[in-house]
Structure 1
Amino acid sequence: MSSTSYALETQQIDKLTEQRLLSAAEQPVSVPASVASPGVNGVEVFGQSLFQGAFRDQPFTGFNPNYQITVGDKINLQLWGAYSFSASLPVDPQGNIFIPEVGPVHVAGVENGELNDFVLRRVKQVFKSNVNAYANLEASQPVKVFVTGNVQRPGLYNGYSSDSVLYYLDSAGGIDPESGSYIDIQVLRQGKLLQRVNLYQFLVTGQMPALQLRNGDSVVVGARHGYVTLEGDVQQSAKIEFLGETTSLSEMLLVAKPKPQANYARITQIIDDRQEASYLPIEQAMQTELHAGAHVELVSDSDINTISIRVKGEVEGPAAYVLPYGATLADLIDRIHYRDNANPFAIQLYRKSVAEQQKIALERSLDALEMEALTRQPVTSSDKASLKDSAAMIQKFISKARKAQPRGQVVLANNDRAGEMLLEDGDELVVPLRASTVSVVGEVVFPTSLVFDEEHTLDDYIEMAGGFSNSADTDELIILHLDGTISRIKERKFNNRLTGTLRAGDEIMVMPKIQAGELQVTKDVTEILYRIAVGTAAVLSF
């Protein structure tokens, strides 16, 4: 998917995602104090420039067809023909205007666009002919509205019932940029919620809720929710507020649109009191979970100059490191701080490209095995049934083997120059715990983990795991070490103490016995089983 596909247009906003971003919430999410100031790095809160006096200086007095006539409004009425009358009539507390010779006409609740026809119909009920009428709204009702909460100047403000919430917020100096929410504004009437207002909806789509305020209504600005700082190749750098505990970059870009050339995202955030950093293609970054206080920088990286490496296990500090392109394993290790129980001598490195190569090699072996099994020709009539059963068994094995997903471990042990190895974007480094157990897996009665004891032999461990199963290969065992290396131990050494060979953290892998009708097939299946065992750290039954 090209980066230009992420230049999101307003009309393409997904309805469900927009609803989640723009809807109001009952409880605000706390924001770390270290990221609470909107002035950090000179980035404003999204919407902060909204209140510069433009709304309070321009009260709305124009024609609004959807405005509903209310008590206190003034209606300009003219009658001509057989009967003439001209006056400005107030809407009384009962919602009526009084027309001479006609009487009271209830206009409260009538939409402005329908007012003239409504009044004319009432006049025609009295004057059947030769009298015409023209009625229009002269002035909306003056009202006083409380504006409070997280605004600059809480107070009681004059206006008209036709004025929008923006007018009253601007009159109060606007939302407090240090603490106010732009997505959680409540309009109360007699203490009850009348309407929730989200200014992002106005800023992004130009929509404002149709709302007529009355005397004594309150506009309450809630406390700011969590937000994400978005900078770089975006149309507008901003701190973007969101609802809930987490959000995603795709939701943030509904508000601050990316520039067409943006193709990578550099993400820094604190998760569980630990700082994490990542550098991802924008397609992948779109669905990354963002927490309150996260900082995202979109970049146009035609020549990739940084890589992101994830670090797991017994380490202190970030879970991901952004390093210069061309960084080595030694560069990364120099930045890592080990925990007390870490085993730095068994560091494991996993690489996507290696996993892909392992998967390709496995698929080729499985294709060759499938071809061999399907093309064997029976020598005698009795061989025909045997080959059919064997082929079915091999096909079942192949089906299971294709589901195996290699880990892509790069073996670092026994190489004095491992530190010079160049790292690749997306590499994962695992620092294991200093182990005290040995695992026995595969074809034993009770696969389990046992406390490591240098005095124990392989026979001892197999016995403690319940002994070999009926389908076990008892001629050879595989020891998979934490560092990715393996040792193949023949049956004659099962009762020996393997000092230095068998270590804490190792896996003793008991492979299945291959029962195939042909030597070549047995060899191929054995090769595949060993490849899966080493590549996935799991024993596949046959």
Structure 2
Amino acid sequence: DSKEGDEVDYSRFSREALFAPVLQRLKAQAKPGAPQQTIQVTGPVRYPGEYPLPASRQVADAIYVAGGLKDSASLYTAELARFSVDEAGTGETNVQNLDLRAIMNGDVSVLLQSRDRLLIKSIPEFAQAKTIELDGEVRYPGEYTIRDGETLREVLQRAGGLTDNAFPKGAIFTREKLRELEAQRLREAEERLKSDLVGVQLEGNDFGGQNAERTQRVQELLEDVQDSRPLGRMVIDLTAVVENKDYQSIRLQDGDTLTVPTIPQSVSVFGEVQFPTSHLHTEGLTVDDYLERSGGPTRQTDEERVYVVKADGSVMLPEKSRWFGGRSQQLAPGDTIIVPIDVDRLNQLELWSNVSQIVYQMALGAAAVGNL
């Protein structure tokens, strides 16, 4: 049943209805010495498919029957695949390249045979515009069409460069393929956590209440995963991209985005603290100072694994990095302190051993969004 707004391709319908009985009859009549008189036309023609062999046997007529060429068709070359039987009685396929422009102009005549397959080729990347979105503190933000092989530095030059208020260290560069991979990992994490939650719930409550606590933690983590949105961020040094010609070129892909924030004034604290929030950056304050300003850790905190996401997306581990200076190291504007769940404790409760990786990825996304 058709509805208002539906579009029906009557030309295709009538074409199929017209040729279907003819094709069926030609196939039924085929026998040794009298092969079925059909051909196939594929590629950028209006109506690709199987057709009766034209009486003229001309390639140009076969294309006409298939509705003609689309504007994406390449006139430089086409392929004609022909099935035959060699002297030993074995079937073989021969492929012949055709000059389609000469054929369509009538300068060359190519005769078709039964069961021939005509492939019309498409112009590579025909009308496929690739774009990058430039947002924030660039001189002329917007969606830019990119050439094949163009780099981020070249597009930024087209966009007039960065403004005086730009904070290149905090630039967020995202890529669609990375976002898709992140989304897949989040879906896998969600399915695994759902399975874990069902398993915990089936065990019921024990005397010490550990199962009830375990259920609550899995439920909270599952909700966090479901609320997370994949970002697909790739860490880059935008200052080097703009100023250093010898810096590794970042070849752009369709769907890339670059967001350049203004110069930040805050340090954010996310995760297992009493009051996750952002604080005005103050010279001299350390990781522990900012944690104290956020009310301190919760009882679920893994204090030994507190880490800092720098404004450019790189990660520093205060407890493990000697040159970082430990938790007494002063922070820079745009830094984000991540206070993770006590993963070891969760694992002792027989939860998913990869839960730390999920929390880590969500924290990176939260840190990036927090700096926009």
Give the TM interval when normalised to the shorter protein.
Answer: 0.5 to 0.7
**Aligned to 1:317, which of 127, 130, 140?**
140
Aligned mates of 1:529, 1:365 — CA distance in 2: 10
Q: Match of 2:328?
A: 496
Whether 2:308 is the aligned partner of 1:466: answer no
Q: Note the C-alpha offset of 1:457.
A: 1.2
Higher helix share: 2
Q: Match of 2:354?
A: 524
Higher strand share: 1
- Contact 2:172-2:368 within 8 A present in 1 as well: no
State the Cα deviation string for residues 277-297 of structure 1 (Å, max 9, x = none).
xxxxxxxxxxxxxxxxxxxxx
Does the C-alpha gap of structure 1 residues 385 and 338 become closer, same or farther in structure 2, counting only changes over 3 Å? closer
Q: Note the C-alpha offset of 1:519.
A: 5.8
Aligned mates of 2:276, 2:212 — CA distance in 1: 33
* 2:354 partner SS: helix
Does the C-alpha gap of structure 1 residues 363 and 305 become closer, same or farther in structure 2, counting only changes over 3 Å? closer
State the Cα deviation string for residues 96-144 of structure 1 (Å, max 9, x = none).
xxxxxxxxxxxxxxxxxxxxxxxxxxxxxxxxxxxxxxxxxxxxxxxxx
* 1:407 partner SS: coil
Whether 2:174 is the aligned partner of 1:350: answer yes
Whether 2:155 is the aligned partner of 1:332: answer yes
Does the C-alpha gap of structure 1 residues 439 and 535 become closer, same or farther in structure 2, counting only changes over 3 Å? closer
* 1:332 partner SS: helix
- Contact 2:129-2:145 within 8 A present in 1 as well: yes
1:280-299 to 2 correspondence within 5 Å?
none
Does the C-alpha gap of structure 1 residues 482 and 7 become closer, same or farther in structure 2, counting only changes over 3 Å? farther
**Aligned to 1:534, which of 347, 364, 367?**
364
**Aligned to 1:404, which of 228, 247, 254?**
228
State the Cα deviation string for residues 160-209 of structure 1 (Å, max 9, x = none).
xxxxxxxxxxxxxxxxxxxxxxxxxxxxxxxxxxxxxxxxxxxxxxxxxx
Aligned mates of 1:333, 1:8 — CA distance in 2: 45
Does the C-alpha gap of structure 1 residues 517 and 447 become closer, same or farther in structure 2, counting only changes over 3 Å? closer
Q: Match of 1:52?
A: none
Q: Note the C-alpha offset of 1:374.
A: 4.5
Does the C-alpha gap of structure 1 residues 379 and 325 become closer, same or farther in structure 2, counting only changes over 3 Å? closer
Does the C-alpha gap of structure 1 residues 462 and 327 become closer, same or farther in structure 2, counting only changes over 3 Å? same
Q: Note the C-alpha offset of 1:357.
A: 0.5
One-letter identity of the residue aligned with 2:153: A
State the Cα deviation string for residues 245-304 of structure 1 (Å, max 9, x = none).
xxxxxxxxxxxxxxxx799xxxxxxxxxxxxxxxxxxxxxxxxxxxxxxxxxxxx99524
- Contact 2:347-2:353 within 8 A present in 1 as well: no
Alignment RMSD (CA, Å): 4.2
Q: Note the C-alpha offset of 1:349.
A: 0.7
525-534 vs 470-479, which moves further: 470-479
Q: Match of 2:63?
A: none
Aligned mates of 1:463, 1:526 — CA distance in 2: 24
**Aligned to 2:267, which of 401, 415, 438?**
438
Aligned mates of 2:289, 2:205 — CA distance in 1: 47
- Contact 1:477-1:491 within 8 A present in 2 as well: no
- Contact 1:262-1:301 within 8 A present in 2 as well: no
**Aligned to 1:428, which of 238, 244, 257?**
257
One-letter identity of the residue aligned with 1:489: P
1:137-536 to 2 correspondence within 5 Å?
303-304=126-127, 306-336=129-159, 337-372=161-196, 374=198, 382=206, 386-387=210-211, 390-391=214-215, 393-413=217-237, 419-490=248-319, 495-498=327-330, 502-514=331-343, 515-516=345-346, 518=348, 521=351, 523-536=353-366
One-letter identity of the residue aligned with 2:338: M
Does the C-alpha gap of structure 1 residues 389 and 478 become closer, same or farther in structure 2, counting only changes over 3 Å? closer
State the Cα deviation string for residues 324-362 of structure 1 (Å, max 9, x = none).
132122222222322112123443211222111011122
Identity %: 27
Does the C-alpha gap of structure 1 residues 461 and 379 become closer, same or farther in structure 2, counting only changes over 3 Å? closer
One-letter identity of the residue aligned with 1:526: S
Aligned mates of 1:366, 1:469 — CA distance in 2: 24
One-letter identity of the residue aligned with 1:408: G
Does the C-alpha gap of structure 1 residues 522 and 325 become closer, same or farther in structure 2, counting only changes over 3 Å? same
State the Cα deviation string for residues 223-246 of structure 1 (Å, max 9, x = none).
xxxxxxxxxxxxxxxxxxxxxxxx
* 1:489 partner SS: coil
Does the C-alpha gap of structure 1 residues 348 and 322 become closer, same or farther in structure 2, counting only changes over 3 Å? same
Question: Which protein has the larger Cα radius of gyration, Structure 1 or Structure 2?
Answer: 1
- Contact 1:373-1:521 within 8 A present in 2 as well: no
Gaps of 5+ in 1: 10-260, 264-299
- Contact 2:308-2:336 within 8 A present in 1 as well: yes
User: Runs (4+) of structure 1 moved beyond 6 Å?
Assistant: 5-9, 376-381, 414-418
Q: Note the C-alpha offset of 1:408.
A: 1.1
Aligned mates of 2:315, 2:204 — CA distance in 1: 42
Aligned mates of 1:8, 1:418 — CA distance in 2: 54
Q: Note the C-alpha offset of 1:491.
A: 8.9
Gaps of 5+ in 2: 10-69, 73-122
Aligned mates of 1:423, 1:413 — CA distance in 2: 15
Aligned mates of 2:293, 2:366 — CA distance in 1: 24
Highest RCO, 1 vs 2 (Cα 8 Å, sep ≥ 6): 2
